[in-house]
């Protein structure tokens, strides 16, 4: 049994009966969320998906972190493939009563992982040059998209967790933003796919962050401004299932 499967009762639906295919560990995550108009995101979402709103409000998330222990089921984590920083730009959607994540982009410093994820999960991964280190003011994260499919999108942020840790309660904004147990993607032939995931309840802390450069929403034509809603998590253990087609 994977360590993440020791807790199951918090899930909004049961875990898939079929075997999971991949395990990952996520470290030092910053969840930075901005409220955005739903109509600004709707045109980027497949028609069969409904935007998932909290009290009528859509949210755009930017999430820098690093991965370790990325491995296929039954195989060891390979040093040159299993650990790398990642950066996600996302919003929240729902299909068949299963709320999940829709990714606008995923930047990673591992070119093999980028191409493998594009081919297998049909996710919009991009190659990037990323550095992540601990500084006196917190975690210093810099990402520059180097992929030919991008336009040099850049993020520079310093962040840290502070205050007491907590688990988000169902019905709160924090729960809505982080407690997600599937992702959605669209294949080249326009099939809607759902990838189930599992993890224990998020262990969150309040966070502070200073954004020096943030161009990650530029491809959406969105200028995000104002103070974001911030949360920090030190570690999460995750397992992933092979994506399946959402029924017509």
pLDDT tens digits for range 2-39 = 888 888 999 999 999 999 999 999 999 999 999 999 99
Q: What is the pLDDT of residues 117-147, one digit of tens each?
A: 999 999 999 999 999 999 889 999 999 999 9
* Spatial distance between the Cα atoms of 8 and 5, rounded to a whole number of angstroms: 6
CA-derived radius of gyration, the chain? 17
Residues 6+ apart with CB under 8 A from 222: 36, 40, 60
Average pLDDT, integer, range 162-184: 97
Show the domains of the chain with their CATH numbers.
Answer: 22-243 (2.40.400.10)
Q: Is the pLDDT of residue 95 over 90?
A: yes
Average pLDDT, integer, range 31-49: 96
Residue 144 confidence (pLDDT): 98
Average pLDDT, integer, range 51-71: 96
Residue 39 confidence (pLDDT): 95
Q: Which two tokens stand for residue 246?
A: 């959402």
Q: What is the pTM (predicted TM-score) of this model?
A: 0.96
Please report which confidence band the pLDDT of residue 1 belongs to, taking 50, 70 and 90 as the band edges.
confident
Q: Which of the two residues, 248 and 133, has the higher pLDDT score?
A: 133
Please report which confidence band the pLDDT of residue 219 belongs to, taking 50, 70 and 90 as the band edges.
very high
Q: Which two tokens stand for residue 145?
A: 């998209």
Q: Which two tokens stand for residue 240?
A: 């992933």
Q: Which of the two residues, 135 and 55, has the higher pLDDT score?
A: 55
Question: Is-contact 62 86, C-beta < 8 A?
Answer: no
Point out which residues pair with 239 in neighbouring strands: 23, 198
């Amino acid at each position: 049994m994977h360590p993440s499967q020791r807790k199951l009762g918090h899930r909004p639906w049961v875990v898939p009966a079929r075997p999971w295919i991949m395990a990952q560990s996520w470290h030092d995550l910053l969840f930075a969320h901005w409220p955005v108009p739903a109509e600004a995101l709707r045109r980027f979402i497949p028609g069969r998906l409904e935007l998932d709103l909290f009290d009528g409000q859509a949210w755009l998330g930017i999430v820098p972190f690093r991965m370790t222990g990325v491995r296929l089921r039954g195989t060891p984590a390979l040093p040159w493939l299993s650990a790398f920083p990642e950066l996600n730009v996302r919003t929240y959607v729902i299909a068949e009563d299963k709320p999940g994540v829709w990714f606008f982009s995923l930047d990673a410093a591992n070119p093999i992982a980028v191409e493998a994820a594009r081919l297998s999960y049909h996710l919009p991964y991009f190659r990037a040059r990323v550095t992540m280190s601990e500084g006196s003011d917190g975690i210093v994260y810099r990402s520059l998209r180097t992929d030919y499919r991008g336009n040099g999108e850049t993020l520079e942020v310093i962040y840290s967790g502070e205050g007491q840790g907590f688990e988000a309660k169902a019905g709160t904004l924090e729960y809505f933003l982080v407690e997600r147990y599937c992702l959605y993607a669209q294949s080249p032939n326009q099939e809607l796919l759902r990838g189930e995931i599992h993890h224990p309840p998020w262990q969150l802390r309040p966070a502070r962050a200073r954004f020096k450069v943030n161009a990650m929403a530029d491809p959406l034509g969105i200028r995000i401004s104002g103070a974001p809603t911030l949360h920090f998590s030190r570690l999460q253990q995750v397992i992933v299932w092979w994506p399946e087609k959402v029924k017509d």
